[in-house]
Amino acid sequence: MKLYNEDYPAPNPRKVRIYLAEKNLKVELVHVPMRERAHKAPDFVVKNSLGQLPVLETDDGRFISESLAICRYLEALHREPSMFGEGAFEQATVEMWIRRAEFRLWAPMSQVWRNADERTEPVIKARFKDFGEHNRTVVADAMNWIDGELADGREFVAGKNFSMADIVLLCGIDFAKYVRMDMPERARHLRAWHQRVSSRPTARA
């Protein structure tokens, strides 16, 4: 298998790399330099018509895109240790938190990146800066809400076990900082969680 990949700070490929490291799985990494627009090149677009990373090439030459879909495919092949939860309740809780992270944090963060970060200006022509700046407040509100959810003292976001939900949230929090949206100072529970998960060796994958 091959994972078409980009280095940090690209957050979606990072999700898959952390997942692979947690599972101790070895997959060939193929660097696709986004700054050179390699992900939009014709030979890459045949792998993913959206021209986005990451993409997994399976052993039989098929392609899977979207980071969560890639991880679920690998999870079906390598079930231990589980990264999507054990049992019905834990699996549902992990899924709940993945969705919360994606909708409450990733979605508005993406609008800041697309519309209000000067680094995207050369390649994204239709930009709505006021809308992008507004979403900085939405991101901060999401972080404060997650902080409140973590006030019960749980070690990881979906309960007692490190899971895909932690990976999704970690990569979102770190990319938000790259887009100049750090965790609010008063969000001490979120900051403590972030310190715990960032200290895992796999977070550097």
Tokens of 84: 């999507």
Same domain, 180 and 107: yes
Average pLDDT of the residues of the chain: 97
Higher pLDDT, 126 or 169: 169
pTM score of the predicted model: 0.97
pLDDT of 189 above 90: yes
Nearest C-alpha neighbor of 163 from the set 94, 77, 61: 94
Tokens 């963060």 sit on residue: 109
Residue ranges with strand state E in 48-189: 55-57, 63-65
pLDDT of 117 above 90: yes
Task: For residue 33, give the CATH number of its domain.
Answer: 3.40.30.10
Cα of first residue to Cα of last residue in the chain, in angstroms, is 18
* Residues 128-143: tens digit of each pLDDT: 999 999 999 999 999 9
pLDDT at 126: 82
For residue 162, is it within any domain?
yes
Same domain, 127 and 33: no
Helix (H/G/I), strand (E/B), else coil: 2: strand
Task: For residue 166, give the CATH number of its domain.
Answer: 1.20.1050.10
Per the structure, how many domains does the chain have?
A: 2
Same domain, 110 and 188: yes
Mean pLDDT of all residues in 108-133: 92
pLDDT at 125: 79
* Interatomic CA distance for residues 97 and 78, integer angstroms: 22
For residue 82, is it within any domain?
no
Same domain, 20 and 116: no
Q: Which of 77, 111, 135 is the last residue of a domain?
A: 77
Q: 129: domain range? A: 87-204
Query: Within a 10 A sphere around the Cβ of 119, how many other Cβ atoms?
Result: 11
* Residues 24-74: tens digit of each pLDDT: 999 999 999 999 999 999 999 999 999 999 999 999 999 999 999 999 999
pLDDT of 122 above 90: no
Q: In the structure, what pLDDT confidence band is assigned to residue 1 with cuts at 50, 70 and 90?
A: very high
pLDDT of 124 above 90: no
Same domain, 191 and 95: yes
Nearest C-alpha neighbor of 112 from the set 35, 168, 52, 179: 179
